[in-house]
Copies of this chain bind each other. A is one copy, B any other.
Amino acid sequence: MQGTEQTERTPSQPAAYTPTDRTVPTRAAHRASYDRELVHAILDEGYVCHLGFVRDGAPVVLPTLYGRVGERLYLHGSTGSRPLRAAGQADPGLRVCLTVTHVDGLVLARSAFHHSVNYRSVVVHGVAHQVTDAQEKREALDTLVDHVVPGRSRDSRPADRKELAATAVLRLDLDEVSAKLRTGGVNDEPEDLALPHWAGVVPLRKGYGTPVADPDLAPGTELPGYLAAL
């Protein structure tokens, strides 16, 4: 994968992002983390983020594919889509908030009040810029494809010039970033423990079904190893 060497932390990067007014939660501060490796791990486990931006003074939140190279996120879109057009027009870029959430379990307490979910989320604040350099754009598109299915970019036809021109890629640096997590079991009040309600955690699972091949596969095309391994 392109840019793999950038995923190593350099000596100049501290182990944690610096908290800011925006990334310190007003509540449940014990669930917040700024740990760089934790943030990377949460980001790398997903490939669809929810990208927020402001249009005509109102918020807009759109599901968007992303990939990470070191301390940069790349976001995928068509040149015709609203956030990407806005980022291209605006100078210096588009102010965004990018959020990735994994829900790991349902926390069923004896009391309705203490019901919760176990989750891991990352929120990134920043200014996204359109990638204009052709080589960076190619590498970003490889990253996006490989972020969804590792190894896939080498097993597909690369974008040609026309396709590259029709694809917009935004870059967002990881700078103002926080993670938030809830893990563990139920937190019922001591006086509720004797209640007859079942309490505990229901884990959530994500997985892959059997790949469905395109009916027009070239003769002899086998399921590649990187898909069989999913």
- Tell me whether A157 and B81 are in contact (CB under 8 A): no
- Tell me whether B197 and A155 are in contact (CB under 8 A): yes
A100 to B82, CA, bound (A): 18
Q: Count copies of this chain in the complex.
A: 2
A50 interface residue per 8 A CB criterion: yes
CB contact between A209 and one of B163, B186, B202 (< 8 Å): that residue? B202
A60 interface residue per 8 A CB criterion: yes
A200 interface residue per 8 A CB criterion: yes
* Minimum C-beta distance from A208 to chain B (A): 6
- Tell me whether A80 and B186 are in contact (CB under 8 A): no
Q: Interface stretch among A1-9, A10-18, A32-40, A221-229? A: A221-229
- Tell me whether B60 and A52 are in contact (CB under 8 A): yes
- Tell me whether A61 and B65 are in contact (CB under 8 A): no
- Tell me whether B208 and A63 are in contact (CB under 8 A): no
The verdict on A209 contacting B204 (CB below 8 Å), with A26-B81, A52-B97, A59-B95 known, is yes
- Tell me whether A214 and B185 are in contact (CB under 8 A): yes
A75 interface residue per 8 A CB criterion: no
- Chain A positions 175 through 191: 1 when the CB is less than 8 Å from some CB of chain B, otherwise 0: 00000000001101000
Chain A interfacial positions (CB closer than 8 Å to B): 22, 25-28, 47-48, 50-55, 57-63, 65, 78, 80-82, 85, 95-99, 101, 103, 105-106, 108-113, 115, 117, 119, 121, 123, 125, 141-142, 145, 148-149, 152-153, 155-160, 163, 166-167, 185-186, 188, 192-218, 220-224, 227, 230
